[in-house]
Chains A and B, each alone.
Chain A
Amino acid sequence: MAGIVDLDEDNFKHGILGLVITLVEIIRDTLKLQAFKRMEGGSLTEEEIERLGRALSELDVALDQIKEEHGIADTVQSVRDGLDEIVDEVLDKMVNPSRWAEEFEKEVQR
């Protein structure tokens, strides 16, 4: 698979922290989308919506702070791009069976 998660090899801790923060970010984004759905769902009160919004924005601030403090914004971005690429590639193959044929042809040619 072409999508390789590129971790900074020079600094192992950098990479590990980057990976952890990436996971937290993905969870945060997922929670955010679910929060919007709940807000649109209409079961929450005004006050709850307000509180949820504030908590999410605080989480944003905290994450940005951590990324800035440790200088891992680029690492996180590159790990996320790598993961997105893998997902994109797998989905692309799943929904377009024609790609399998293409790949098979390539294999045969080789």
Chain B
Amino acid sequence: MAGSDGCRMGSSRQPVVDSHHRRSGFLQGERVEAKPVLLPSRYRKATLVDLLDRVLEKGLVINADIIISLAGIPLLGVNLRAALAGMETMLKYGLMREWDERTREWERKHIKEREPPLLAEEEILLRMYGAHWHSKGIYRAWQPGYLYLTNKRLFLFRREPGQMLFEAALEKVKGLAIKRESHFMGIEREMIYLALNPKRLAYLYAERRKELLEAIRGRMKVLGLPLNENPVLSPLDAEIDRLIVGDEITAEAKMWYQLPASGIRGESWRRGRLYLTNKRLFWWCNEDCKILFEVPRREIGWAKVETRDLGGAIKERPVLCLSYGSPPSAKTALFVGDDLTEWEKAINHIGGEVEPCPCCERLAPTKQLLKGGCPSCGWVSPCGRGENEAQPPW
């Protein structure tokens, strides 16, 4: 295939130029200069797609008989027959003709399922590319499709294979919030949170967010439905709701957590959300669907944003180091996410006043520095020592 192409295009240059100039009469007698425009040359831009196209057009046939033997005695037999070609080429050779017919026939019958099923008197107002965060049981993933706003519903429909991925009647929409969040690729983008009734939170991405929001607001107004903008969001996972009965969330954000090494497994970074409540600080793991890190407020030591290498190619990123537990057995947890300095401030506020240790200059709560000593380097304040030691006998 490629060979024939090359022979045609890559013919030697000189004779062609000569014959060409001989034919063009007015050049006779003049000094013949090769004009590059007229030179035949191999088309230099052969791309991978061209190559694939050529292979598929001609077709590829593999026909192999293999016998694997040991000590001269055949033990395994392989009879291999494979053909790869474009469908048009296949049909030309009479292969898969019936199958082709049947596939198209089936599609013709089921074509109706490819369109989103509409209710009576329902009209599509807006349609755009979007995605919905699907979270049910152990299955969690972004499901992409087309987001439709109709006069009655907001839904996400995927055509191939036809499936309704997310659906909410407009009267069930109670609140709406847009948050700028950093995506795992490192760019920030706006995500849509919809508070629904019964209490449920939908997490969506839409291509043209502004337009969609305007349309939702407009439609809700027409229907006379109240829409609470920027409501307090409940956690995305219903399981968390159950776990935090009685807690009041004061801060929460998407956050990566370094899961400490255990057994044969080394340290690993996991995706999840960090929650600070009036009772504790905990981190919810998206993949495992459970709380993997938890510390009561009174055991939180200090937090500090440091620049560290995260392993692999990710170097020198700001990391939130959190120290917790009492000094002899104080531990450190590492988090990566947005607004780390905000978190640093919020966490350091919990233990009251914070100041750097005079010895190692790491931040620690003032009370702890004075009484128990520095949780990082073990420095003990002279005042603290005086208090703790027994009075001399005199």
Cβ of A26: which chain B residues have Cβ within 8 Å of it? 48-49, 52
Query: Which A residue sits closest to B313, measured CB to CB?
Result: A12
A1-33: which have CB < 8 Å to B?
9-14, 17, 26, 29-30, 33
Cβ of A30: which chain B residues have Cβ within 8 Å of it? 49, 52-53, 56
Q: Does B6 contact A (CB under 8 A)?
A: yes
B314 touches A12 (CB 8 A): yes
Q: Does B10 contact A (CB under 8 A)?
A: yes
Neighbour of A88 across the interface among B5, B45, B144, B184, CB < 8 A = B45
B47 touches A87 (CB 8 A): yes
Cβ of B45: which chain A residues have Cβ within 8 Å of it? 84, 88
B42 touches A95 (CB 8 A): yes
- Interface digits, A13-55 against B, CB 8 Å rule (1 contact, 0 not)? 1100100000000100110011001100101100010010001
B52 touches A70 (CB 8 A): no
In the complex, how many angstroms separate the beta carbon of B125 from the nearest chain A beta carbon?
Answer: 20
A5 to B53, CA, bound (A): 22
In the complex, how many angstroms separate the beta carbon of A1 from the nearest chain B beta carbon?
Answer: 14
A37 touches B49 (CB 8 A): no
B49 touches A91 (CB 8 A): no
Known: A30-B49, A88-B45. A62 touches B129 (CB 8 A): yes
Complex A-B: 12 CB contacts under 8 Å: A26-B52, A30-B49, A34-B86, A55-B160, A62-B144, A65-B129, A69-B189, A70-B185, A84-B48, A87-B48, A91-B51, A95-B3
Using a CB–CB cutoff of 8 Å, the interface residues on chain B facing chain A are 2-3, 5-7, 10, 42, 44-53, 56-57, 86-88, 91, 100, 104, 111, 129, 144, 159-160, 183-187, 189, 207, 312-314
